[in-house]
A and B are shown apart, each in its own frame.
Chain A
């Protein structure tokens, strides 16, 4: 049975049916979406049991002069683990969306999201470039329409994403055809073998293809210099889809890097490595055998991590802040995978899945907050912990995970990333990584403090806890975060299988412990110690002096004067406004001065001006051109006659 083909087909057909037939019945659309996601879970389980499934779909026509071409889908360990993770998350999002899309918030995106899920399966299982390209583009343009979802402001953000996505696909096509020209085959494996065989003889061709592919994956994963699209697209997308964007979609680039690019840069890589650099650089940059390409990727990743953190710290819009945080984490992941050892890839994959969990948790809580309050800017919120305690709790645990504190899952993967860096003497690279990791505390705490702690605005006295269907997926996610934090082996052991299938050594450890380069940690023990410490504090809190809640007026910061008299609104003296003002002042010059966003916008503006200029040419009478042509002909003829 062709399960992969069937699931892709069902997603496509069901998506189209729900687009056409249930246009007015939004609830039915979401139920269909949920059913489709459940079916994909079933498919995932079946594929998980029958490892190494290969399915083909013969095309009844000739493409590129290849008669009887087949679309090939194959379950690799890597694709499978990504697929399972993405599907589990999607089911949770589907439950959330069922409740989220009530009359007021209905966005009508579910049919397109279903089409996207077809692309999602295709990306992870494609074994030939044609099906990969089809899936990739399907994911690209459906995501554009989902992000835009009929709103003018969102459309601008969506277009920013889509332009980068189109650039990525253009380079992908070019890279595919570099391989196709040499092999005459569209199989991905053939192309990779071909590239590998050319590494010694035609290194520049391989590097061209690699860089083209890198651009594809960088644009999709929002790595520097394309780091700005999440802060626009994730923020403006429908709130339930933001979780999918940050949790799942942004990881396609990670998958692509590990599946298509890293196999070329193994230990036997013959091209330029750090060993070819001057000696003093070798001393500080890391192990000699690291290829220059990977070193650059690593540094770009580290830079992205730092930059994303800095941008997140000064962001006042909660969704934008978390989008920047996603960029920062992606930077981490890219820095880790650039190490390309067992520790590196394991750490990258581990952090990918951890990030998928905790960032989905964060985005779902934010969606619930927005669902209940309608606000996105943090200085308009505050004190919601009193009204939405469970949501607050989920958010709290998610940010503990995001900060990399035990007993949550983020700790083990961040630890593993640093282990991977030490393993290859990448001490210099560890500095920005440490910095970004620490800076994460700042923005995560800002989110906690301004949204959930502090004073509750009178506007939100009547706000209720999130609906039960929204709480269920959040709680499941947080339980998963907890379980993975205590037993990292749950994810690391499947990752070990991936490593084995990629011909890389596996990392040691069992359910609860991980064997690193410098030391071995037992996550369960660490986690239990932390839980014990929390419990102790909790006990002290409970037996301590009784506290009472004072409902004091919001104008206490102004010594009883009424700021309304000066034309100020309560938001403007909210503690969330300029939360880290001194820090913002330090980074302001740097962040404003060096902005890829400005660069791209300037680029776009120049193109628009060029476009207007050409249109003006079309509108002009063009006498000059005609005279020129007549003259040219005359000169040609006369020149001949003479």
Chain B
């Protein structure tokens, strides 16, 4: 079997043997996850070099595109896959001491599987199926710790997901009736749809992705789900699901809806829709976080804002592409990818620390955690560093992404200028709430006694790994810089994608 397929189905394999294994030992799945994700990361890193410059396309079941499902293993997809397994690996370490029912681990594996495949797939219906798997697993996992808030969040999630599933299904149906294909590459190269139809179809697909990427207005579930689930699952939502959703959105926006695709007539209005949504997300997320009391919820709001910033980068890239400003398009996508990867690393770190603090204090509000930094200084300082990273303060990783984004916004149209104002405003608000909490961790005295046990180590290890990653990103962005730039170029160059998928297929 193809290596890449093995890479993709590792979590499915884990999900299958988890129930049997947990009959033998309750912690079987915990160990299994750590081992398998590590295996997947290594495997991905070994495959990655062979993909650079030569995207592999796998026709599932031997059905060539556009008739079958094709898995497009581009460097971008593989890199994203490795990143998601990496976060999964850290989450598995974080969970290693916890006794979870077998179902939890089973569902979690399926959740990761759906997110990874979502990025790899070259077929819209397959994308839809994977989204549905992700939705069902999230629904179950979201009520994993706090029944009250979790059920609430889970219910909202179901309702929202039902709505967007309906939208995307309707869009796919409409598109299939209009074009006769659901292959991304073929649509990307295809004849123009009627502008009205293209807008409805495009908006339907985008809205499903807004939901997945925690963007306004389909994100009402976000705070409650973060609040109700384990903080490690919150990390998964921010670091895996949101990440995957955002990358798929980039793929949809720059490949599926490129200016010469079937969506060409509606591209501008779709782009403006994305602009509006991203600006609204930034404003809503950041302002809500300003006064939030519950730390997990606050991080959830902050995620909404951060995702909005990434979406803003993609929106401005789209508008630059449309206006023919090709020089700045790729840097704008790069800015988005950089901010996305920084968020993918920083937010799980913050959530791990938060989970640990909540356990140590027994309280969920940040005001009740005062002084905990005196007991656990490393954790609290890491929290502050995470905050500074997300704020985009120089000497921290987020800064490099933020200045690229500012630069792209300066090159953009009027909407981009509005976005610029909102972005700078968001930076101020982020600074206020992150630093307020960061300092409060060192305020006064606490009665908590420090414990250096296995639970502490299970949090410390992933936090240290993520912190090292963030520091590397901050001081040597060159490590990822070139890769991200080539990803941005490959996203921007939709012709290359089409060619690699449809080569040798006579149309």
Restricting to B274-319, which residues have a CB under 8 Å from any CB of A? 284, 287-292, 297, 301
* Binary flags per residue of A158-178, CB closer than 8 Å to B gives 1, else 0: 110011001101110110011
**CA gap between A177 and B408 in the complex, in Å:** 10
Residues of B close to A625: CB separation below 8 A? 217, 220
Most interface-central of B196, B204, B220 (chain A CB within 10 A)? B220
Whether B202 is near chain A, meaning CB under 8 Å from some CB there, is no
Residues of A close to B224: CB separation below 8 A? 618-619
Most interface-central of A133, A134, A177 (chain B CB within 10 A)? A177
Residues of A close to B436: CB separation below 8 A? 155, 159
Which of B170, B289, B377 interacts with A23 by CB under 8 Å? B377
13 further A-B pairs in the complex, CB-CB below 8 A; given A134-B394, A617-B220: A63-B403, A162-B432, A162-B435, A170-B425, A173-B403, A173-B406, A611-B288, A611-B292, A614-B284, A615-B292, A625-B220, A626-B159, A629-B217
Whether A630 is near chain B, meaning CB under 8 Å from some CB there, is yes
Evaluate whether A615 and B288 lie within 8 angstroms (CB atoms) in the complex, with A162-B435, A177-B407, A637-B200 already known: yes
* Binary flags per residue of B395-437, CB closer than 8 Å to A gives 1, else 0: 1000010011011001100000000100011011001100110
Q: Which chain A residue shows the least CB distance to B219?
A: A618
**CA gap between A15 and B150 in the complex, in Å:** 43
Which of B196, B301, B370, B394 interacts with A133 by CB under 8 Å? B394
Pair A167/B428 contact, Cβ less than 8 Å:
yes
* Binary flags per residue of B234-248, CB closer than 8 Å to A gives 1, else 0: 000000000000000
Report, nearest first, the 6 A-B pairs whose CB atoms are least far apart. Answer: A61-B478, A611-B291, A170-B424, A134-B394, A614-B288, A166-B431
Whether B88 is near chain A, meaning CB under 8 Å from some CB there, is no
Chain A facing B: main interface SS = helix
Residues of A close to B432: CB separation below 8 A? 159, 162-163, 166
Pair A144/B435 contact, Cβ less than 8 Å:
yes
* Binary flags per residue of A627-642, CB closer than 8 Å to B gives 1, else 0: 0011001001100100
Whether A141 is near chain B, meaning CB under 8 Å from some CB there, is yes
Whether A584 is near chain B, meaning CB under 8 Å from some CB there, is no
Chain B residues with a Cβ under 8 A of chain A: 156, 159-160, 163, 167, 170, 196-197, 200, 204, 217, 220, 222-224, 284, 287-292, 297, 301, 331, 370, 377, 388, 393-395, 400, 403-404, 406-407, 410-411, 420, 424-425, 427-428, 431-432, 435-436, 439-440, 442-444, 476-478, 481, 485
Whether A138 is near chain B, meaning CB under 8 Å from some CB there, is yes
Pair A174/B288 contact, Cβ less than 8 Å:
no
Pair B410/A181 contact, Cβ less than 8 Å:
yes
Residues of A close to B435: CB separation below 8 A? 141, 144-145, 159, 162
Evaluate whether A61 and B407 lie within 8 angstroms (CB atoms) in the complex, with A155-B443, A166-B432 already known: no
Give the shortest distance, in Å, between A106 (CB) and chain B (any CB).
14
Evaluate whether A64 and B403 lie within 8 angstroms (CB atoms) in the complex, with A134-B394, A137-B394, A163-B432 already known: yes
Pair B440/A155 contact, Cβ less than 8 Å:
yes
Chain B facing A: main interface SS = helix
Q: Which chain A residue shows the least CB distance to B403?
A: A64
Residues of B close to A626: CB separation below 8 A? 159-160, 163
Q: List 10 A-B contacts (CB under 8 A).
A: A60-B478, A64-B404, A134-B394, A141-B431, A169-B427, A178-B410, A181-B410, A615-B223, A626-B159, A633-B167
Interface residues on A, range: 35 or more
Evaluate whether A62 and B406 lie within 8 angstroms (CB atoms) in the complex, with A133-B394, A607-B290, A610-B287 already known: no
**CA gap between A137 and B428 in the complex, in Å:** 12
Which of B220, B393, B443 interacts with A137 by CB under 8 Å? B393
Pair B442/A150 contact, Cβ less than 8 Å:
yes
**CA gap between A289 and B407 in the complex, in Å:** 36
Residues of B close to A612: CB separation below 8 A? 291
**CA gap between A640 and B204 in the complex, in Å:** 16
Q: Which chain B residue shows the least CB distance to A129?
A: B403
Pair B439/A158 contact, Cβ less than 8 Å:
yes
Q: Which chain B residue shows the least CB distance to A132?
A: B394
Chain A residues with a Cβ under 8 A of chain B: 23, 60-65, 130, 133-134, 137-138, 141, 144-145, 148, 150-152, 155, 158-159, 162-163, 166-167, 169-171, 173-174, 177-178, 180-181, 607-608, 610-612, 614-615, 617-622, 625-626, 629-630, 633, 636-637, 640
Residues of B close to A65: CB separation below 8 A? 331
Give the shortest distance, in Å, between B54 (CB) and chain A (any CB).
24
**CA gap between A620 and B288 in the complex, in Å:** 14
Which of B217, B395, B431, B439 interacts with A145 by CB under 8 Å? B439
Pair B476/A60 contact, Cβ less than 8 Å:
yes
Give the shortest distance, in Å, between B177 (CB) and chain A (any CB).
13
**CA gap between A181 and B327 in the complex, in Å:** 13
Give the shortest distance, in Å, between B292 (CB) and chain A (any CB).
6
Pair A61/B477 contact, Cβ less than 8 Å:
yes
Residues of B close to A171: CB separation below 8 A? 424
**CA gap between A155 and B433 in the complex, in Å:** 12
Pair B424/A174 contact, Cβ less than 8 Å:
yes
Residues of A close to B425: CB separation below 8 A? 170
Residues of A close to B284: CB separation below 8 A? 614
Pair A629/B406 contact, Cβ less than 8 Å:
no
Q: Which chain B residue shows the least CB distance to A153?
A: B443
Give the shortest distance, in Å, between A604 (CB) and chain B (any CB).
9
Give the shortest distance, in Å, between A126 (CB) and chain B (any CB).
12
Pair A621/B156 contact, Cβ less than 8 Å:
yes
Q: Which chain A residue shows the least CB distance to B387?
A: A141
Q: Which chain B residue shows the least CB distance to A118?
A: B395
Pair A166/B428 contact, Cβ less than 8 Å:
yes
Q: Which chain B residue shows the least CB distance to A173?
A: B406
Residues of B close to A169: CB separation below 8 A? 427
